Amino acid sequence: MTAHRAAPRTTPARVVAMMNDLVRTAGKHGEMGVAAARTIGFRTAMLAETLSDPMSITHPEFVRMGAEKMEATAEAATAMAIGMAELQHAWMALFTGPVQVAVNVSMASLGTCRSPMDVLSIQQRWLEESVTASMDAGMHFVESAASLARAGLPAFHRRTRANARRLARVRRA
């Protein structure tokens, strides 16, 4: 018999690590939402001031808004492109993983059968390894999706929180 490649096993620790990652990502999204709301409030007040003083539209903050969004979008798009490649790989593994196991088990083992019990043993092994491969592929897909969910986040999170802090200092001054 030829040796088959052992796939990483889906363990409770792996599931917990992935869930912790999702919780951290959700927390970052929440922080970013609060900071964005504060920033929008400050910038809306600045825009309202331009009604009484039209020259205040030249304030550097208004130029900064657009440039900052473009920079963050480019940075996030680059990070997410890498994450998309991994997600596509995981998507294909959902379909090919169990098939590879079936081919490996059947081709490597069926030729060595000497009795009906050998066939049953191979069938049992095929079923166990196919289910395990499917679970591992599913877990890999979920991990890749979680990774993609957080890939573009740092670019926006960092800028949004910095803006809220900076604009709060400007307002107090």
How do the domains of the chain map onto residue ranges? 31-172
Average of pLDDT values for 128-149? 88
pLDDT at 5: 47
Q: In terms of Cα–Cα distance, which of 88, 84, 67 is closest to 151?
A: 84
- pLDDT tens, 37-91? 999 999 999 899 889 988 888 888 888 888 999 999 999 999 999 889 989 999 9
Q: Is the pLDDT of residue 4 over 80?
A: no
Mean predicted confidence (pLDDT) in 26-33: 94
Query: Is the four-CA dihedral 132, 134, 100, 114 of positive or negative sign?
Result: positive
CA neighbor of 43 nearest in space, from 65, 73, 71: 65
Whether the predicted pLDDT of 25 surpasses 50: yes
Give pLDDT tens digits for 107-118: 777 778 888 898
- Which residues are CB-contacts of 21 (< 8 A; sequence separation ≥ 6)? 143, 146, 147, 150
- Cβ atoms of 39 and 160 within 8 Å: the answer is yes
CA distance 98 to 115: 25
Query: Could you identify the residue written with the tokens 């869930």?
Result: 19
